[in-house]
Amino acid sequence: MNDTPPPPPSSAAAPPTPSHQPPPYAAPPGAPAEKPPTLAVLSLVLGLVGVVTACVGLGLLLGLAAILLGVIALATTKAAPGGPKPKGRGMAVGGIAAGLLAIVVFAVTIAAFISAGWHAKQAALGLVQHSQARQIHFALHAHAYDQQDENPTQPSRFTTNPFDLVDPGYIDAAIFEDPFGDEPVPDDFDQWAAADRARWLRNQGGFVLLPGVTEGSSGDTIAVISKPASSPQGVVVVTQDGLALHRNDLDALEEEVHNQTGKTLDQLVDEFERGWY
């Protein structure tokens, strides 16, 4: 039997392994918190200011700047694999979104201004067209009165030839211009031959003189209409008694014209431009 006692434990034995890792390093009290990147903050600020000022050109510029700075901020604050989410990415995303919103609001505002300007222009041209039709009507009356004085035995019939009103000076040729068209009276119009001037007034002019109208016609007999294809607001109609109206119901106007002349609107315009009546 071996009576040798066991050796004592080695003093160099490793200490027992702790069952958990020590807590991560924490900043000492009073240390400043990590600040988000400056570009992300600028992106968000510019985007929000751009939304507020989107109705003017400044909003567009600020919106573009916010998007640019936000994209740069995102590119420079990428998180390391498995690491914590960097500060400022939320601000950068918010700045990009605000910048996009500022651009959209600016575009909608510009579109609204353009649309309002177009409608205002159309309304103004409609008033011009209305005034032109009235002036043509007055010239028709003046011409009819003069013809009656020269030929008392003949009925005072309204002429259907615009040249009869322009050549003697009852009205200026520019009154027959289509305000919605792009065919103004040529500068040398007065030097043209009479047949060429008459043809221009019928074809490039914006108004049609209806046949069969006299001083004795019913007051609601249509004497002058604007060419239907020229105005987006409908047709200007002037009756024998001088009442001028914009007519949007072309079907009803078509029926009235047919009852008065036996022709459709298209036929009436075509025959007027050809000089067939």
Q: Partners of 247 in the beta sheet? A: 235
pLDDT tens string 92-120? 999 999 999 999 999 999 999 999 999 99
pLDDT value for 48? 94
**Nearest alpha carbon to residue 225 among 258, 197, 195:** 258
Helices marked H in 8-88? 38-52, 57-76
pLDDT digits (tens, 9 = 90+) for 166-211: 999 999 999 999 999 888 999 999 999 999 999 999 999 999 999 9
Q: Domain locations in the chain?
A: 38-78+86-115, 124-274
- Report pLDDT for 207: 96
* Measured CA angle at 209 (ends 207, 214), to 5 deg: 150
pLDDT at 31 (0 to 100): 44
β strands within 177-241, DSSP E: 207-209, 222-226, 235-239
The answer to whether residues 170 and 178 touch, using CB atoms and an 8 Å cutoff, is no
What pLDDT tens digit does each residue of the chain (277 aa) get? 555 666 655 555 555 555 555 555 454 554 455 566 889 899 999 999 999 998 888 889 999 999 999 999 888 877 656 666 777 888 999 999 999 999 999 999 999 999 999 999 988 999 999 999 999 999 999 999 998 877 777 778 899 999 999 999 999 999 999 999 888 999 999 999 999 999 999 999 999 999 999 888 898 999 999 998 777 778 999 999 999 998 989 899 999 999 999 999 999 999 999 998 8
pTM here is 0.71
- In the numeric block, the tokens 């431009």 are attached to 273
Q: Tell me how far apart the alpha carbons of residues 222 and 56 are, in angstroms, rounded to a whole number.
A: 49
